[in-house]
Amino acid sequence: MNAELRPFAVRATFCHRERRSVQLARMFAGVTLDDWSLAERRDDVLLCVSELATNALLHGVPPGRGYLVRLVLYRGGVLRVEVHDSGPGEVRTRETSSESERGRGLLLVAALADKWGVGERNPGKIVWCEFAVRGGGAAVPAFT
């Protein structure tokens, strides 16, 4: 992340450890993008939210806990998607066969986002991705 970028707008939602939470995380992101008038790269952002939320649900959230989805819009035109979970484990892309039904989530994130990575959290981790965007309409004034 460029140190010169300053947060302009932030929204977050907590998701419980349940199968429908991925759909709720995606809906939250869609509403936020609409509110911020960010249509550019919408499909890419929503797919990445789905993939990161699915990974948190399947691999990063111990029973009885949940995960946080956070969207940060920075002055300078960067949208950051973060998924915070409290589970242990290493996050990495992996090679999959053409027959495999799993293991492509982070490969999709890496292909669609401008950047992605993993940050520390105690307990757990933050998996994030970023997208260059242009400022939105009335709810989010053009970037300066």
CA 84 to centroid of chain Cα atoms: 9
User: Does residue 110 contact residue 116 with C-beta atoms inside 8 Å?
Assistant: yes
Confirm whether pTM is higher than 0.75.
yes
Measuring CA to CA, which residue among 16, 69, 18 is closest to residue 46? 69
Residue spans per domain, the chain:
7-132
Question: What angle (nearest 5°) sits at the alpha carbon of residue 131, between those of residues 23 and 96?
Answer: 65
The predicted pLDDT at position 137 comes to 44
Q: Give the mean pLDDT per block of 10 residues along the chain (144 residues).
A: 72 95 98 95 97 92 92 93 87 56 77 94 93 67 46
The predicted pLDDT at position 141 comes to 47
Architecture of the domain spanning 7-132: 2-Layer Sandwich (3.30)
